[in-house]
Amino acid sequence: MLDTPQATVYIIDDEAQVCAGLARLVRSVGLQPQTFTDAAQFLAHVPTEGVGCILLDVNMPGMSGPELHLHLSEMGLSFPVIYLTGVGNVPLSVQAMKRGAVDFLEKPIDAELLLPAIDKAIALHRERYVHDGRLAEIQGRFGKLSAREREVLAHVIAGRLNKQIAYDLGIAEKTVKVHRGRVMAKVGARSLAHLVHICDELGIEAAAGGGRN
């Protein structure tokens, strides 16, 4: 099982007092805060790994909160976002939630609302972290397959029998069985159904209709 690092809460707000107050709150529950007073400062130190979430002020000089959120999404960063705003804005809050924000909270921030939102955001990011790490591990296993083993795999997940695969590839049926066993062992598949599930997750396609000319 993959270990997950300590969570960090990234606080981005142009008001230094707000940053300091939120940092104290975050520390009080055993989390590690990092504060930034604008989007540019955050982007200069943007995290590319680890677990955490972002507390993001909506209205900031320069790049706004929603603009930064969109930019981070385009960069492929999956840190969950909790928006903070001084003025309630229903259309903006709806737009933020559609973009995947965990919550949209009005200032002054109520700790009883913020802390559960942070817990939810970090739990979500931990799930992503473990899932992505597991997929990377499995991809590494698939990278160890030989070209012939990949061919056999594509036919196996297409539902073909060993003798059909042997005919399609022009090899002996016992050779297919050997390659099939190696594939199962290398990728750590417990059964054919498990192998198919793993291939679905990784986007590995089954072989098209077989038959040699």
Tens-place pLDDT, residues 67-114: 999 999 999 888 999 999 887 666 676 677 767 789 999 999 999 999
Residue corresponding to tokens 């594939």: 183
Task: Identify the DSSP state of 15.
Answer: -
Q: Specify the 3-state DSSP secondary structure of 10.
A: strand
Place of tokens 């520390």: 27
pLDDT at 171: 96
Domains of the chain, start order: 8-139 (3.40.50.2300), 144-202 (1.10.10.10)
pLDDT value of residue 205: 87
Residue 50: what pLDDT?
85
- Across 106-124, b (16+ Cβ under 10 Å) vs e yields beebeeeebbebbeebbeb
* Residue-level pLDDT at 57: 95
Collapsing DSSP to helix, strand or coil, 30 comes out as: coil
Structure tokens at 75: 């960069």
Residue 5 is predicted with a pLDDT of 63
The answer to whether the pTM exceeds 0.75 is: no
The mean pLDDT values, 10 residues at a time, for the chain of 213 residues are: 70 96 96 96 90 94 93 90 82 71 92 96 87 78 92 94 95 96 92 90 78 42
